[in-house]
Amino acid sequence: MTFEEYSKQAIGTAVYPATMRVIYPTLGLTGEAGEVAEKVKKLYRDQNGVLNAEVVQNIKLELGDVLWYINAMCRDLGLTLEEVAQANIEKLSSRAQRGQIHGNGDKR
């Protein structure tokens, strides 16, 4: 499945008021990212960090929810997942070329 195919299918399930554009998916994204972190936290608390198929599956489902909200935000901002992915690769490539992968700050 491509990002474009995913986007078209996923956005059909987006049900929130137009007045909540950008806000609703931002709040959902933070909540779902927290759920991913919670799964990882419990992996270390309950299983000493040992991954198994069930844990991986559960994290995969939460990551899918994160992707859904990213896709909704993209739509609300007039972006595509492809544009966001390409911009991220360009940013990371520039940092790597300049030896700036490590460190802090958006503008490194």
pLDDT of the chain, 108 residues: tens digit per residue: 999 999 999 999 999 999 999 999 999 999 999 999 999 999 999 999 999 999 999 999 999 999 999 999 999 999 999 999 999 999 999 888 888 877 776 666
pTM of the model: 0.88
Host domain of residue 65: 3-79
Q: Report which DSSP code applies to 101.
A: S
- Whole-angstrom CA distances from 14 to 11, 20, 26, 32, 76 are 5, 12, 13, 15, 11
91, part of any domain: no
Give residue 96's pLDDT.
Answer: 84
97, part of any domain: no
84, part of any domain: no
Q: How many structural domains is the chain composed of?
A: 1
- Alpha-helix runs per DSSP H in the chain: 3-11, 23-47, 53-77, 81-97
Question: Residue 48's domain is classified under what CATH number?
Answer: 1.10.287
Query: CA 85, 88, 89, 90: dihedral to nearest 10 degrees?
Result: 120
